[in-house]
Amino acid sequence: MKSIYRFVLALVLGLLAAGADAERIKDLASVQGVRENQLIGYGLVVGLDGSGDQTTQTPFTVQSIVTLLAQMGVTLPPGTSLQLKNVAAVTVTASLPPFSRPGQTIDITVSSIGNAKSLRGGTLLMTPLKGADGQVYAMAQGSLLVSGAGAAAGGSKTVINHLDVGRIPGGATVERAVPTALGQGDSIFLQLNTADFTTAARMADAINREFFPAQNIASAVDARTVRVAAPQDNERVQFLSRIENLTLDAAAGGAKVIINARTGSVVMNQNVMLADCAVAHGNLSVVISAENAVSQPNPLAGGETAAVSNASIEIKAAPGNLLHLKRGVSLGEVVQSLNAIGATPQDLLAILQAMQAAGALRAELEII
């Protein structure tokens, strides 16, 4: 009985391990046409504690106030010069999620466009938010939340974060819905977050296996798009719910190395490969080589003769400072060795760029 229990346990653990790398279609792709829409508006923030725009340098703020007062039925005498300190002209931005309906609320970001010192404690007046087509899709208004700690907030004397940008959670109410079509005609299109031919083909195969025997309802159009034959509109929600929870093994990404030129941080994936090379940079020299040998099995062992590559890294800086690593060469070992002898981020960047230019670093090099 115990042996059967152990067998079942081992089988379950094996299945879990096999599916550990599987990813859901929901995490790998999105439905074409289901997207956010950007909104923008121009408004006024009032109630500031003397930290608003200097109206002599921002005439548009004064003009906006005059127009607002005129709409409220207040007429100013001709030639009146307004000296305002508690008002700031701002832009209001938001993202309208897909399937938003009138009456729902969305978060907004309010940013000063004048010379206001701070938006802390201000109130945004009613501001229409427009889309790229010029139509109003939401109305924004509310009290701003400005992050940052300073003497005025009872914190340290040094101000942290930006005081000219604030947020209003749920500060805009949707007034108009954006039509969202789940597909075109009899098909829907899944767009991969990262273009990859192998992942697109595997995604189509996973969908076809799920809906067997109705085979070939999915096909990879290109490296980013998978076309799926879909039922009628009133059945597509359940259909997409079934598809987005399917799992598949996504293809390994291309070899890539990312370098932060300011901090010297290096991030790489497992597909980075190095070839034989020699690099000289200032007082640093890097030599990467591989020695091919033959592994001969013992007599009557039943093995096969195989080639074995013994790789080595030799990095030399100032006289007497030599590091020699006799094991499998990887970029991680090269970077670690360079850091050990005090190479600067600029040295590291120059060496990796030279290795890539020479074809010894078989990876995409991205500098941030």
Question: Is 66 in the same domain as 168?
Answer: yes
- The pTM for the full model equals 0.67
pLDDT band, residue 7 (cuts 50/70/90): very low
**pLDDT tier at 335 (50, 70, 90 boundaries)?**
confident
Q: Are residues 54 and 164 in the same domain?
A: yes
Identify whether residues 160 and 275 lie together within a single domain.
Answer: no
Same domain for 318 and 230:
no
**Shared-domain flag, residues 198 and 148:** no
- pLDDT, tens digit, for every residue of 108-161? 999 999 889 999 999 999 999 999 999 999 999 999 999 764 444 454 555 556
Verify that 60 and 134 share a domain, yes or no: yes
Residue 12 falls within a domain, yes or no?
Answer: no
Q: Whole domain around residue 127: which residue ranges?
A: 37-73+80-174
Residue 345 is assigned to a structural domain of this protein: yes
Q: How confident is the model over 172-217, as pLDDT tens digits?
A: 999 999 888 776 678 899 999 989 999 999 999 999 998 877 668 9
**Does residue 338 form part of some domain?**
yes
Q: Are residues 166 and 60 in the same domain?
A: yes
User: Does one domain contain both 170 and 41?
Assistant: yes
Mean pLDDT for 92-120 is 94
Model confidence pLDDT, tens digit, residues 257-298: 888 877 777 787 777 777 777 766 666 666 766 554 445 555
Residue 19: inside a domain: no
Question: Mean pLDDT throughout 231-249?
Answer: 88
For residue 6, is it within any domain? no
Q: Residue 275: what are its φ and ψ, rounded to 5°? A: -115, 175
Domain boundary among 214, 229, 248: 248
Report which of 156, 164, 131 is spatially closest to residue 48, judged by C-alpha positions.
164
Q: Which residue has the higher pLDDT, 366 or 126?
A: 126
Give a three-class secondary structure readout of the chain: CHHHHHHHHHHHHHHHHHCCCCEEHHHHEEECCCCCEEEEEEEEEECCCCCCCCCCCCHHHHHHHHHHHHHCCCCCCCCCCCCCCCCEEEEEEEEECCCCCCCCEEEEEEEECCCCCCCCCCEEEEEEEECCCCCEEEEEEEECECCCCCCCCCCCCCCCCCCCEEEEEEEEEECCCCCCCCCECCEEEEEECCCCHHHHHHHHHHHHHHCCCCCCCEEECCCCEEEEECCCHHHHHHHHHHHHCCEECCCCCCCEEEECCCCCCEEECCCCEECCEEEEECCEEEEEEEEEEEECCCCCCCCCCEEEEEEEEEEECCCCCEEEECCCCCHHHHHHHHHHCCCCHHHHHHHHHHHHHCCCEECEEEEC
Asked, for residue 349, whether it belongs to a domain, the answer is: yes
Please state the φ and ψ torsions of residue 59, each to the nearest 5 degrees: -65, -25
pLDDT of residue 151: 45
Q: 295-333 burial string, b = 16+ CB within 10 Å, else e?
A: eeeeeeeeeeeeeeeebebbbbbeeeeeeebeeebbbeb
Q: Say if 1 falls within a structural domain.
A: no
Within 10 angstroms of residue 61's Cβ, the number of other Cβ atoms is 24
Would you state the pLDDT for residue 326? 43
17 part of a folded domain = no
pLDDT of residue 320: 43
Quote the pLDDT of residue 3. 46
Same domain, 110 and 94: yes
Q: Which of 189, 219, 248 is the last residue of a domain?
A: 248
| Lookup result for tokens 């749920």 | 170
- What pLDDT, on the 0 to 100 scale, is given for residue 199? 93
Question: Residue 237 carries which side chain, given as an amino acid letter?
Answer: V
**Measured distance CA(238)–CA(240) in Å, rounded:** 6
How many structural domains comprise the chain?
3
Q: 109: exposed, middle or buried (C-beta count within 10 Å: 0-12, 13-18, 19+)?
A: middle
Same domain, 226 and 274: no
Band (pLDDT 50/70/90 cuts) for residue 89 is: very high
State whether 203 and 302 are in the same domain: no
Looking at the structure, do residues 162 and 287 belong to the same domain, yes or no? no
pLDDT of amino acid 176: 93
